[in-house]
Amino acid sequence: MKQYDLDITADRCPLTFVKTKLLIERMAPGDVARVRLKGAEPLENVPRSVREHGHEVLSLATADDDPAGEVHVLVLRKC
């Protein structure tokens, strides 16, 4: 199992999921990715789209290194 990291904090929808989807396409089943995202729209849309495409959201939490609480980390597994 391989782990990937993707930072989409500077991107806006729909580019946030486009970049996430491109990463998932490169991954093997069972691989895990940590995706850093920022903003209400990506926070709602990216996890939903990941699930709709048949993958698993393992966790979604505020980033430890962001005291303002604006950045979140989505951990997903390709199915």
Catalytic residues: 13
pLDDT in tens, 20-32: 999 999 999 999 9
The total number of structural domains that make up the chain: 1
Residue 9: CB partners within 8 Å, gap ≥ 6?
36, 37, 38, 71
What CATH number is given to the structural domain containing 13? 3.30.110.40
In this structure, which amino acid lies at residue 76?
Answer: L
Phi-psi domain of 30 (left: phi exceeds 0; alpha: psi -120 through 50; beta: other): left
Q: How far apart are CA 15 and CA 3, in angstroms?
A: 22
pLDDT in tens, 45-66: 999 999 999 999 999 999 999 9
Query: Containing domain of residue 11, as a range?
Result: 3-77
Instruction: Confirm whether pTM is higher than 0.85.
Output: yes
